Structure 1
Amino acid sequence: MRPSTTSGGHNCRRGVQLRQHRSQDFRTTQLTSDFFVERLKAWGVTRIYGYSGDGINGVLGALQRAEGTDGEIEFIQVRHEEMAAFMATAHAKFTGELGVCLSTGGPGATHLITGLYDAKSDHMPVLAIAGQAETTVRGASYQQELNLDRMFADVADFVQEAAAPAQLRHLVDRGLRVAKSRNGVTVLILPKDLQDMAWEEPKRAHGFTRSGPGYSPPRIVPHDADLRRAAEVLNAGRKVAIVVGAGARDAADEVVAVAERLGAGVAKALLGKDVLPDELPFVTGAIGLLGTKPSSDMMEGCDTLLMIGTGFPWAEFLPADGQARAVQIDIAPEMLGLRYPVEVNLHGDAGETLRGLLPLLTQQQDRGWQDGIIAGMDDWRETLKGRAMADASPVNPQRVIYEMSPRLPADAIVTSDSGSCANWYARDWQVKRGQRGSLSGGLASMGAAVPYAIAAKFAHPIRPVVALVGDGAMQMNNMAELITIQKYWQRWADPRLIVCVFNNEDLNEVTWEQRVMEGNPRFPTTQSLPDVPYARFAEMLGLTGIFVDDPEQLSAAWDRALTADRPVVLEVKTDPNVAPLPPHVTIEQAKAFMTSMAKGDRGAAQVVADTARQIIGGIRGRL
């Protein structure tokens, strides 16, 4: 047959010519999207986590045109936009830089929300770039047209939808400056047609503004008079307790110096777990529901409290009102005096403030308080060992971390999901100097461990990374991100990324909350999970899979995983009836637990055998 000579054929050829002509225009004319990418580079952005869609295609095209140029921005394709936002948050946590994520408009943008709230809750600087329907159809209930500026208004410190090319320059400059200076979230929304418009510099005329890039954080230190007031409180104390959070990470040496001078003990909020190594004898480990008995005992007995860079939420684990005089240091003034009635609030950078405070502190001669804390920690370590090595069916989840902890290299990074595995992360991982770790803190979201680990690996490709994940979070969204690992792992100089899955076929943290907080038996309808072969799934992807259902296999499994030539999924069949106990159990919690057993909790005999002795032995409170 001869080629068609119908008008349709001519129109088809004409369409090709038009697309070729437009492509030539793209190569010779700087588009607004090209300027946008250049401006991100000027701000130091090196990596974007995201997922494509037609609403953001203009920016993706600009990233493509910028490939091979100086300072090229790396685009990491994830499986889901929520994961992109988690990765941006983790990038900020593990680098101190701005994290960046990208989505199309409509559902792509709505998917970002959870990860962005994680950044907001943990005070991390993150930029989210979202596409939008064309400016010409805004307000028309068009496909994927949502009022994204309203949707992001609560999570973002700065959110703006661009309406004209000349506006974009100051939106980028202001938005990134806000994110960096406030350690918060900025969202920039770019309509689809605006991305492909010719770039126009803002004019030197009324109705325009001309901005510039760049931001350096200031030196923020309290007034000398306030430092003296704080020193007076701390010097008067005889039983000083210190609580540190993520805001103290760059002040580790100063925290140690203060603790040694005051004869204090130091407890760590969950986000501050990696601030100090656990080998320091006066460090009591985590505090709170996931904390240690020595941390709880220290709060019960102290007469003075120093909080540094922490928004630790569970105020019931802090001293009683009137028991202790308190000093707090925080770079975020809105966090000062929020958890405890503080006598002296110091608005400042932790390191700078402590360096100003140290010369004013006197050496505590009586070391009895600190010696008691050290002795308590010695006993606690034996308790942890006994709990980890206790029999379980089939594997005690505490032993998984107990076996991991001494084997991790000094430069390892550990991430954890929410749920019962966070208990073992908080208590059983003994942090060494130089190691890093994090999780979704303030938001406590499921599904963050694997995307956090991926971002950690991109940020530090020569460091080994371990993600601790419950089977609930693994099934929710983390399994898909194994595909992301498979896609990129050969780029990493050190291929070691271990995803350790606690497979107990149970949404375990909530199960225990039902028992201990509500007094109800386990509700299988809501709590039971399918038994998924996670290690075999990893092997299908070309990764290494290791399955363990015998506690005696754990040490060899960790050794194999840490020497593997590719990422590993280490699946451990753990016992759901090993309780994630708080440091002390109240009589009310004990009663609720026993009530749930009496109501016919399935497996109650095993639960009681595994747990009741610990609970009854740990009861405190008035009968």
Structure 2
Amino acid sequence: MKVGDFVVERLHAWGVRRIYGYPGDGINGVTGALQRAGNIEFIQARHEEMAAFMAVAHAKFTGELGVCFSTGGPGATHMITGLYDAKLDHVPVLAICGQAEATVRGANYQQELNLDRMFADVAGFAQEASSPAQVRHLIDRGIRVAKAGNCPSVLIFPKDIQDQDYEEPAVAHGFTRSGVGYRRPKIVPDDTELARAAEILNAGNKVAILIGAGARGTAPQLIELADRLGAGVAKALLGKDVLSDDLPFVTGAIGLLGTEPSWDLMQGCDTLLMIGTGFPWSEFLPKDGSARAVQIDIEPSMLSLRYPAEVNLHGDAATTLNALLPRLKHKEDRDWSRTIETNIASWWKKLEGRAMADATPVNPQRVVWEMSPLLPANSIVTSDSGSCANWFARDYRVQNGQLASLSGGLASMGAAVPYAIGAKFAHPDRPVIALVGDGAMQMNNMAELITVQKYWKRWTDPRWIVCVFNNQDLNEVTWEQRVMEGNPKFEASQGIPDFPYSRFGEMLGFKGIFVDSPDRLTSAWQEALTSDRPVVLEIKTDPEVVPLPPHVTLQQARGFMSSMIKGDEATGHVIGETAKQVFNGLFGKKE
């Protein structure tokens, strides 16, 4: 048995059944072993960064370890962005990289990089093999660290090591013998701390709950918790699919991409419970001293990081909530919960008014607003970073049973399509929809449509849809320049070429749908969702529809007006669209 064969055998023993990657001579020993074994599926991406994003998506949508691999040198450097996505969103991913021969390490050899140093910041465990007897414990420890720490691990194998005969570690000094297996424990906080947390939550009159991805799988407990405390529940973006948006106490997303009810919830509460969230923008949380707080998180380093909590409960969400719920009293006063529900009902009407406002040619909010009620209950939705993430956050009303995610902590462009590919391989019987801006499509997502073309006929359900918002603008940055910096749109940096995305899809054998009229949106979505093949749905959207934050600060208002005064080429259009958004938000949909 060669070392490459042992690597594949050990991965299989750990439960790995799929690897995303791109080959190269630096990883040929493992590639050949994959071919010989035939028991782990290899998915060939078009780029190593995309392979890493696919592995992240596998981890997010299954709870399992995601695995990617590459050659050394540029293959490894390409992969690092996707691994940072895994690190910042706290998901387990294993990356396997090739390396120049051990015999030339330190010789400034071709494609020789100090990869263990390069990956040291992103990985919880990063090691390069130097002998066959070392490989067993590197694999075992790397996978165990990734799974236990919800983080990336990186294993680096020099070319010659991969092709050497495998050696079991000796029962002797200077060797160590590792084993396979890890199951996450159920961690519950101390009874004393649970009692303290219950005292704070029972004493509160206006309780707010903020949930993130760490609360996934706790919907029954959260519903009981909100009912017992009369609380509203806001969702960090990575926690969007934890609870259905149709629940009357769910205020939706929080932050710059969030909702007005979530802003009102946080500013009006006297008690805050945070569960499994690392939501970064603390300015959207209560002011210091205005609310007593309790936080639950499996990662102790995240406790009291965004808001000072009186009680920090180190534990997994489900087990901790199960232990906490019997200690909580049912609140009889429902004035606070009635206020929350009234705010939410008003918000959905306001959002409909904004989505249905006229635009030139199509209002991007309406694209997602029309999509949302048409999605099957088992759909998976991914979004890219950029302005489309605003509409994903607000206008997509996630239903119970649906899954959704995006690059959260890293907020990387170019993740939506590889996420959708990873989701489809993990769940080939479920429809998958990716919401993508034209900037991300041109950056790196168009090439991955070729990956879909290569594999889609394997999928049980062929429905795989990429919805492209074609506005010829790097729109999120344009608005950040206007509002945050007070500068007009800089066409040289912001304008991007027009491209026939739907026709490109047709060239690949997909269904291509082009929409440049809002009246076509519903039928276009229906056509896409009943297609017998993947779909590229291209929609010509208006770049001047403002992504209004839930709360406009004086500084943001000044920045916006400054950018208009300085001569933004679209000043008239921008002001007109903003006025329509405000009008329709106040008075609802125009008849």
Q: Give the shorter-chain TM-score range.
A: over 0.9
| 1:141 and 2:80 are equivalent in the alignment | no
Question: Any conservation in 2 of the 1:585–1:615 contact (CA below 8 Å)?
Answer: no
Q: Deviations over 1:54-108 (max 9, x none)?
A: 00000000000012xxxx1000000000000000001000000000000000000
CA distance in 1, matches of 2:499, 2:146: 40
Letter of the 2:288 counterpart? D
Query: Residue 225 of structure 2: which of 228, 253, 258 is its match?
Result: 258
Q: Deviations over 1:193-228 (max 9, x none)?
A: 010001111111111111110001111000000000
Q: Which residue of 1 aligns with 2:20?
A: 49
Deviation at 1:617, TM superposition (A): 11
Letter of the 1:55 counterpart? G
Compute the TM-score of the two structures, normalised by the length of structure 1: 0.93
| 1:110 and 2:77 are equivalent in the alignment | yes
**Structure 1 segments of 4+ aligned residues over 3 angstroms from their partners:** 612-619
Aligned identity (percent) is 73
| 1:609 and 2:576 are equivalent in the alignment | yes
Q: Which residue of 1 aligns with 2:339?
A: 372
Segments of structure 1 that go 5 or more residues without pairing to the other structure are 1-29
Q: Which residue of 2 aligns with 1:31?
A: 2
Larger CA deviation: 608-617 vs 375-384: 608-617
Question: Any conservation in 2 of the 1:584–1:618 contact (CA below 8 Å)?
Answer: no
CA distance in 2, matches of 1:612, 1:446: 29
CA distance in 1, matches of 2:388, 2:45: 24
Q: Deviations over 1:142-178 (max 9, x none)?
A: 0000000000000000000000000000000111000
Q: Secondary structure at the match of 1:431?
A: coil
Task: For 1:140-539, list aligned pairs within 5 A.
Answer: 140-539=107-506
Deviation at 1:250, TM superposition (A): 1.5
Flag the 1:441–1:410 CA change in 2: closer, same or farther, 3 A: same
CA distance in 2, matches of 1:503, 1:354: 44
Deviation at 1:615, TM superposition (A): 6.3
Letter of the 1:50 counterpart? G
Deviation at 1:590, TM superposition (A): 1.0
Deviation at 1:575, TM superposition (A): 0.0
Q: Secondary structure at the match of 2:425?
A: helix
Question: Any conservation in 1 of the 2:354–2:581 contact (CA below 8 Å)?
Answer: no
Question: Any conservation in 1 of the 2:256–2:549 contact (CA below 8 Å)?
Answer: yes
Q: Which residue of 1 aligns with 2:533?
A: 566
CA distance in 2, matches of 1:33, 1:590: 59
Letter of the 1:403 counterpart? E
Letter of the 1:257 counterpart? E
Q: Deviations over 1:455-496 (max 9, x none)?
A: 000000000000000000000000000000000000000000
Compute the TM-score of the two structures, normalised by the length of structure 2: 0.98
Q: Deviations over 1:86-141 (max 9, x none)?
A: 00001000000000000000000000010000000000000000000001100000
Letter of the 2:334 counterpart? R
Q: Deviations over 1:494-523 (max 9, x none)?
A: 000000000000000000000001111000
Query: Residue 131 of structure 1: which of 84, 98, 107 is its match?
Result: 98
Q: Secondary structure at the match of 2:217?
A: helix
Letter of the 1:275 counterpart? V
Q: Secondary structure at the match of 1:585?
A: coil
Deviation at 1:588, TM superposition (A): 1.6
CA distance in 2, matches of 1:550, 1:614: 19
Question: Any conservation in 1 of the 2:215–2:239 contact (CA below 8 Å)?
Answer: yes
Letter of the 2:256 counterpart? L
CA distance in 2, matches of 1:614, 1:388: 8
CA distance in 2, matches of 1:604, 1:616: 18
Query: Residue 58 of structure 1: which of 29, 34, 39 is its match?
Result: 29
| 1:587 and 2:554 are equivalent in the alignment | yes
CA distance in 1, matches of 2:381, 2:140: 34
Flag the 1:44–1:200 CA change in 2: closer, same or farther, 3 A: same
Deviation at 1:183, TM superposition (A): 0.4
CA distance in 2, matches of 1:478, 1:51: 16
Letter of the 1:556 counterpart? S
Letter of the 1:277 counterpart? S
Q: Which residue of 2 aligns with 1:12?
A: none
Q: Deviations over 1:569-615 (max 9, x none)?
A: 00000000001111011122111111111111112101001114656
Flag the 1:300–1:471 CA change in 2: closer, same or farther, 3 A: same
Question: Any conservation in 2 of the 1:506–1:529 contact (CA below 8 Å)?
Answer: yes
CA distance in 1, matches of 2:564, 2:178: 65
Q: Secondary structure at the match of 1:171?
A: helix
CA distance in 1, matches of 2:581, 2:102: 63
Q: Which residue of 2 aligns with 1:17?
A: none
Q: Deviations over 1:429-458 (max 9, x none)?
A: 001100000000000000000000000000
Q: Secondary structure at the match of 1:117?
A: helix
CA distance in 1, matches of 2:334, 2:316: 29
CA distance in 1, matches of 2:30, 2:579: 58
Question: Any conservation in 1 of the 2:357–2:580 contact (CA below 8 Å)?
Answer: no
Letter of the 2:13 counterpart? A
Letter of the 2:126 counterpart? V
CA distance in 2, matches of 1:554, 1:399: 8
Letter of the 2:143 counterpart? L
Q: Deviations over 1:304-325 (max 9, x none)?
A: 0000000000000000000000
Letter of the 2:4 counterpart? S
Q: Which residue of 1 aligns with 2:589?
A: none
Letter of the 2:252 counterpart? G
Q: Secondary structure at the match of 2:218?
A: helix
Count of aligned residue pairs for this structure pair: 586
Question: Any conservation in 2 of the 1:164–1:194 contact (CA below 8 Å)?
Answer: yes
Q: Which residue of 2 aligns with 1:9?
A: none
Question: Any conservation in 1 of the 2:468–2:536 contact (CA below 8 Å)?
Answer: yes
Q: Secondary structure at the match of 2:216?
A: helix
CA distance in 2, matches of 1:264, 1:200: 59
CA distance in 1, matches of 2:242, 2:54: 21
Structure of higher CA gyration radius: 1
Q: Secondary structure at the match of 2:469?
A: strand
CA distance in 2, matches of 1:565, 1:479: 21
Q: Secondary structure at the match of 1:285?
A: strand
Question: Any conservation in 2 of the 1:590–1:615 contact (CA below 8 Å)?
Answer: no
Question: Any conservation in 1 of the 2:353–2:585 contact (CA below 8 Å)?
Answer: no
CA distance in 2, matches of 1:33, 1:592: 57
CA distance in 1, matches of 2:184, 2:90: 15
- The structure whose RCO (Cα within 8 Å, separation 6+) is larger is 2
